[in-house]
Amino acid sequence: MSPVAKKWPYPKIDHFPGRFERFSYRTYNWFENQLWPIRPVPFLALITTATGYQLRNFETLEVHRILKPLAISVGSVYTSVFFLRQFLKICYFSYKGYLKEDPKKPSFLTMAWGALRKILLKIAPPQLSSCDLLLPKLPLPSLNDTVQRYTGSMKHFMSKKKLSTEKVFRMKNYI
């Protein structure tokens, strides 16, 4: 009896993105992470609208006369996005009041925070690393303390002989 050819369970990859395609979606994702909770397309639409409003009576095609209103538009629109991100950082990401409250009787502030959370998740769900810079940096314990705590927690599971060799190994390598 001949062996049966099994069907490959995963879809066959016919296309791998080239350098330009990878650069383009990485750049778009970078813009999206920098502008969260505003998406890049509405951001560019706001810039175009603001620039168009400033150039509504424009007659000659001179680059230096276009760049000035464009810079003002980019600066003003990005400043508003920056202030929105700072507001979210201070008011939304730092709110911890819900942890201390009764879940059946939340305060008005907690209900407002929950409503803002639902709105943000609907309008602009966070991308992979869009909020990483807004979170506080946590201190990392030293390697010596970590190894010491690990060997202390393992003393109930290891024999005395193995535990003593672990301590000697720790003394040689980490302390």
CB 98 within 8 A of CB 110: yes
The answer to whether 47 touches 78, Cβ cutoff 8 Å, is: no
What are the two backbone dihedrals, phi and then psi, of residue 155, each rounded to the nearest 5 degrees? Answer: -65, -20
Q: Say which residue, 40 or 143, is predicted with more confidence.
A: 40
Sign of CA dihedral 139, 143, 149, 154: positive
Which tens digits make up the pLDDT trace of 71-128? Answer: 999 999 999 999 998 998 888 888 888 878 888 889 999 999 999 989 988 888 776 6
Write out the two tokens for 98. 């819900």
Using alpha carbons only, what angle is made at residue 170 by residues 164 and 172, rounded to the nearest 5 degrees? 105
